[in-house]
Amino acid sequence: MRRLAFAVLRRLFVVIPVLWAVVTVVFLLIHIIPGDPARNLVGENATEEQVQRVKQELGLDKPLARQYVDYWAGLARGDWGANPVTQQPVLSRVASRYPATIKLAIAAMLIATVFSIPLGVTAATHRGSWIDSLSMLVALLGISLPSFALGPLLVLVFSVQLGVTPVSGAGGWDHLILPAMTLGAALSAILTRMVRSSVLEELGEDYVRTARAKGLPERTVIYKHVLKNGLIPVVTILGLQFGVLLAGAIITELVFSWPGVGSLLVDSISERDYKLTQGCILVIAATYVLVNSATDIVYRFLDPRIKVD
């Protein structure tokens, strides 16, 4: 337990420089983009006095190094800035959208897991058969179809033709089905191939032959012994792909008008609200890094032979 706690602390110390690097890169990239963010915020018809006042409120009249220091000082105080026109704080806007994005990502991951594990196991246990070929074909389609194409296709079938799900927006669980299916399709395909590969590898191990020699039912051998050991690489993919889900949620949220951080990020970029852009990217990056670090810790519980450095 002490070693595990020490490993967790070490992972947290790794998170800090990574987040610092992300915020720094985003800060610099936003400030070198051509154009005047103050002018974009107040509009083209605003007077020069209004533009200068917005620049003072945003601190854009200060040297870049001073703006960088002030931004980090604000983060330390919990002050992520505010839109000078609407006076809406960045932190509250991001916080209001964050649960919707996490809800969508978790739903997509659950759908991908529920479909991929049985499909991958079935493909592995029927290797070389038409079932295996069909499973791999479904996985190939899931990888090949991008979310901006799969989303409208699902809307056309389930919303327009069948009328069983809403077209877009957020509300009850029925609003979540199509966005989660769209976002989780590629992950489901990746997991299916990974589960199939892991199960095939485990089926050749000595403990499987021993279990079968003892007369254990094939279902028990597969799901109690083989799948348990084969889940370790799958957990790896789940942890790494969670960040991909957050990034992919941007397109999915736009297609389905889902009120998450992804759509908010796109709006902030179009409005040149660079503080809001920084806040959205910081939240996404922090979630991605923390989930990956948690994945490393989970290894310890799945397989004691794996050392958490």
pLDDT 10s digits, 76-135: 888 887 776 677 888 888 988 889 888 888 899 888 888 888 888 888 888 878 888 888
Asked whether residue 307 carries a pLDDT value surpassing 60, the answer given is: no
The answer on 155 and 15 residing in a single domain is no
* 193 & 273 share domain: yes
CB 88 within 8 A of CB 95: no
- What domain range is 52 assigned to? 2-82
Residue 185's identity, in one-letter code, is A
* 309 — pLDDT class (breaks 50, 70, 90): very low
76 plus 118 within the same structural domain? no
Q: Is residue 308 part of a domain?
A: no
Token pair for residue 228?
Answer: 């348990």
Q: Could you tell me if residue 261 is inside a domain?
A: yes
Integer angstrom CA distances of residue 220 from 5, 49, 169, 225, 226: 34, 75, 43, 7, 9
- 309 belongs to a structural domain: no
Which residue type does 221 have? V
Same domain, residue pair 95 and 59: no
Q: Does residue 161 sit in the same domain as residue 249?
A: yes
pLDDT of residue 204: 75
pLDDT at 3 over 70: no
Between 248 and 97, residue with greater pLDDT: 97
Q: Quick one: pLDDT at residue 231?
A: 75
Q: Check whether residue 64 and residue 108 sit in a common domain.
A: no
Domain boundary, last residue among 82, 108, 137: 82
Q: Is the residue at 269 inside a domain?
A: yes
Boundary-marking domain end, from 82, 99, 124: 82
Question: What pLDDT does residue 8 have?
Answer: 66
In a shared domain, residues 108 and 165: yes
Residues 133 and 200 in one domain: yes
Provide CB contacts within 8 A for 234, sequence distance 6+.
117, 191, 194, 195, 198
Number of domains observed in the structure of the chain: 2
Give the separation between CA 7 and CA 297, rounded to whole angstroms. 8
Inside any domain, residue 185: yes
Q: What is the pLDDT of residue 25?
A: 85
Answer whether residue 307 is part of any domain: no
Residue bearing the bigger pLDDT, 61 or 11: 61
The answer on 58 and 129 residing in a single domain is: no
What is the average per-residue pLDDT within 235-263?
Answer: 80
Whether residue 166 is found in the same domain as residue 285: yes
Q: Is residue 277 located within the same domain as residue 173? A: yes
Examine the fold and report which residue of 52, 82, 112 is the final residue of a domain before the chain moves on. Answer: 82
What's the pLDDT at 280? 87
Band (308; pLDDT cuts 50, 70, 90): very low
Mean pLDDT value of segment 211-230: 76
3-state secondary structure of 35: coil
Q: Is 171 a member of any domain?
A: yes
Per-chain mean pLDDT for the chain: 79
Residues 210 and 235 in one domain: yes
Nearest residue to 31 via CA among 71, 80, 76, 79:
71
CATH number of the domain within which 118 lies: 1.10.3720.10
Write the pLDDT tens digit of every residue in 36-53.
677 666 666 667 777 777
- The predicted model gives 65-85 an average pLDDT of 81
Question: Which residue(s) pair with 71 in the sheet?
Answer: none
- The answer on pLDDT for 188 being more than 70 is yes
Q: Would you say residue 44 lies in a domain? A: yes
Tens-place pLDDT, residues 121-178: 888 888 878 888 888 888 888 777 788 888 888 888 888 888 888 877 777 788 888 8
Q: To which H or E segment does residue 81 belong?
A: none
Q: Are 127 and 202 in contact (CB under 8 A)?
A: no
